[in-house]
């Protein structure tokens, strides 16, 4: 199990996401940003907008995904 924060994944806060894979923490970040948007949390809006825009541009999306996976892989196991 490893931990990445919202901030480490491009967000504005230090909420920790835990997972056995990079995909686990990326999915947790997506859920977190969606929940923050629904709650009206404007501090997360830029990260949410960036996340939505990323998926409209496959190359940028894959670059971000690869970087997130590399950052996850570099973390020590908990």
pLDDT at 57: 81
Spatial distance between the Cα atoms of 56 and 20, rounded to a whole number of angstroms: 27
pLDDT at 44: 94
Taking the mean position of all CA atoms in its chain, how far away is CA 25? Answer: 7
pLDDT at 23: 96
Residue with tokens 């996850």: 72
CA neighbor of 10 nearest in space, from 49, 56, 59: 49
- In the predicted structure, residue 55 carries a pLDDT above the cut 80: no
What is the arithmetic mean of pLDDT over 50-60? 82
What is the arithmetic mean of pLDDT over 45-67? 86
Burial of 45 from C-beta contacts in 10 A (0-12 / 13-18 / 19+)? middle
The model's pTM? 0.88
Q: In this predicted model, what pLDDT tens digit does every residue of 4-43 receive, in sequence order?
A: 999 999 999 999 999 999 999 999 999 999 999 999 999 9
Assigned token pair, 67 = 């970087």
């Amino acid at each position: 199990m490893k931990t990445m924060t919202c901030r480490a994944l491009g967000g504005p806060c230090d909420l920790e996401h835990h997972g056995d894979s990079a995909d686990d923490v990326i999915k947790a970040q997506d859920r977190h940003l969606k929940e923050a948007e629904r709650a009206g949390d404007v501090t997360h809006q830029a990260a949410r907008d960036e996340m939505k825009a990323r998926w409209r541009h496959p190359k940028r999306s894959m670059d971000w995904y690869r970087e997130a996976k590399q950052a996850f892989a570099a973390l020590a196991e908990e």
